Amino acid sequence: MKCRLLLHSPAPGDWNMAVDQALLELGQQPVLRLYQWNEPTLTLGYFQPSRAREQHQASAACPLLRRSTGGGAIVHDQELTYSLIVPPHAIHHPSTALYDVVHQAVADRLANHGLTARRHPDRPTSADLAAADADAPPAADDAPPPADNDAAVRIEATSARTEPFLCFKRRAAGDLIVWPTAAQADRMATLHQGSRQDPDGHKVLGSAQRKRDGAILQHGSVLLERSPRAPQLAGINDFLANNDRPTVEQWSHELMAAISSALGWVPEESALTDEELELAERLRQTRFATPAWNLAR
């Protein structure tokens, strides 16, 4: 099945959210979109109260937006966002299966880089991780890059609330969790002073959905590196040797290939239509750029 492939340059958060919503409302074809944000931005889940952002001081200076999908807050900084539009005629399995298909495709791609990732609540055995360490190439030449003082911010305590404020501190079925080997965890600790192994693994991909007239929007965030605006969270590249850290562009290509192949889609690069651009701008102005939407709760 053919799908439209949209590869977008970094853009403001309200525009990014408006485009996803416009594609959901107008889309009659499957769409795979990959994009970034032009400045660190905090998005709240649809049901999160805006005052909850006070729990996370590291992102206090970031612009605040509310997503149309649920879940916890996300700091969009050192990450890559994907979105899928699946019209009714392209839905061939339960919508929840989309999470598993996409997340497993990313897990398989991470395995090519020597990372062990599992969909929550699955977790590898100690023997699995020992074998991964044994298979890893020598890292004697892996000198750490110059210290990043911003990234060495003290690790903040998780919120005492039942559900942590940040999406990537939560765990839901299907979330993609990286379980680093001892050597990979040591590498992360060397790169980021004060970092430590998380006993629950490190969530690197979470997704959420919105439905409209039988169509599905699924979008998600892939953490690539630790952000000074969310110093609690490690990204994929934080565990990799210096010479095996793909760029954002390389990760974009890898994820595009992995996701489209897993869904059985044949991507054809495309651009937004005039109708989609017009609706996105209207949604941006009347919804995602307004206090009435972003501070509604």
Domain segments of the chain as ranges: 2-294
- What are the helix and strand counts (H, E) for the chain? 7, 11
Does the pLDDT value for residue 295 go beyond 60? Answer: yes
Strands 202-212 and 176-178: antiparallel
> In this structure, which CATH number among 1.10.3130.10, 3.30.930.10, 3.30.1300.10, 3.40.50.2300 belongs to the domain 2-294?
3.30.930.10
Single pTM value for the model: 0.87
What is the pLDDT, as a whole number, of residue 159? 34
Distance of CA 183 to the CA centre of its chain: 24
Query: Is the CB of residue 16 less than 8 Å from the CB of residue 66?
Result: no
Residues 30-70 pLDDT 10s = 999 999 999 999 999 999 999 999 999 999 999 999 999 99
Beta bridge partners of 207: 220
Q: Which region among 3-12, 140-149, 248-257 has the lowest average model confidence (pLDDT)?
A: 140-149
